[in-house]
Amino acid sequence: MDLTFTPEEQRFREEVRAFLESSLPAGMRHKVLEGLHVPPEDTIEWQRTLHRKGWGGPSWPAEFGGTGWDPVRQFIFEEECAAAGSPRLLPFGLKMVGPVIMRFGNAAQHRRFLPRILSGEDWWCQGYSEPESGSDLASLRTRADRNGDHYLVNGQKTWITLAQHADWIFCLVRTDWSGKAQAGISFLLIDMRTPGVTVRPIVMLDGGHEVNEVWFEDVQVPVENLVGEENKGWTYAKFLLGHERANIAGIGTSKRELARLRRIAAVERKHGRPLSEDPMFAARLAQVEIDLMALEITNLRVLSAEAEKRAPGPEASLLKIKGTEIQQALSELMVQAVGPYALPFRIEALEGGFEGDPVGPDHAAPLAATYCNLRKASIYGGSNEIQKNIITQMILGL
């Protein structure tokens, strides 16, 4: 693989940078670069800004309203957005259910759902995990019973990220109990405003409300919201999980966080010298950077496969494992860099414009919360242990 960018690709990079410089509000940029809380209003506003530019679907084909960019341009765009401090684009619509609807949905679903994802009108969340069905997802028990022109859905989903903001949820539900577990699952699109849908918050270790329980009690879902064929949802779920795991790698975000770590290490001191000059700390930082460079090459290979109309394969498991390990390592090094100042933090200090009296330097305020939050990164999207099993079976053939 040629890892040098062509002159045309470099010009595209400059175009992206110029757009970000002129269109990304300073307040959004500050929140992202400093690890502060980004409210949902900022996320929606940024998606709409990109949509007006024609860049609302960076990885989508032009036939569905996307940019039609090749993998290299997608990579450049995401890298530049992360470096500039733009809010993260919501993956649930753009990189999860959107590709599923494109591949397996019908024309009516294309017209109904895809434009509203691009415009930021619909916020999606993912309904996969259940209290006793996480890594063993095929054991899920949320059921959808056919009743004329609709399904009656009952059950519970858990760890549903940002469901409190969502307009729609894409769900795996059981429609057949008679055969093999994977063969009786269907893929439903459910309006979160439907009577019988209840969202209950789960407050995490860092005090934040990011995940939720979602309950379904006799929820009526039109049959037209079934994606593909009934009882074929496991196939669609695996397709989606490949995209999710590749996205979790977060190369651009890790590059941005590496730059933030360097800034912190340059101002924190040990024995009277900048921490960046400490041999042990510098060695650990260098190792993370090397790992990130290797991951970037692997990510480009997976993007090339997607350009050939192939869903991400077991390589996505490699991205997921190493990507989350790097994210956790970066957050750990930031906490170590500021020492005891990382321990006490106030939730209010994670909000932009906080004017209180934090303990320690401003850059230390969000680090403990980020560290705690990223402990889950190696679990969601399929735990790293499960990903190693996939690699063992599908790549090594063991």
On whether the CB atoms of residues 100 and 239 are closer than 8 A, the answer is yes
Q: Which tokens belong to 151?
A: 């399904």
Task: Determine phi and psi for 209, rounding to 5 degrees.
Answer: -110, 90
Gap between the Cα atoms of 209 and 195, Å rounded: 23
Gap between the Cα atoms of 120 and 266, Å rounded: 39
Active site residue 130: no
Q: Which tokens belong to 325?
A: 């390990």
SS3 227: coil
Q: Which tokens belong to 8?
A: 């045309």
Q: Given 79, 80, 130, 244, which residue is catalytic?
A: 244
On whether the CB atoms of residues 196 and 219 are closer than 8 A, the answer is yes
User: ∠ CA 143-147-153 to the nearest 5 degrees?
Assistant: 25
On whether the CB atoms of residues 327 and 292 are closer than 8 A, the answer is no
User: ∠ CA 53-24-40 to the nearest 5 degrees?
Assistant: 90
Gap between the Cα atoms of 196 and 251, Å rounded: 39
Q: How far is CA 104 from CA 93, 125, 235, 240, in A?
A: 15, 19, 10, 11
Sign of CA dihedral 72, 73, 78, 79: positive
End-to-end CA distance of the chain, in Å?
A: 28
185 forms beta bridges with 174
101 Cβ partners below 8 Å, 6+ apart? Answer: 109, 110, 113, 114, 227
Catalytic site positions: 244
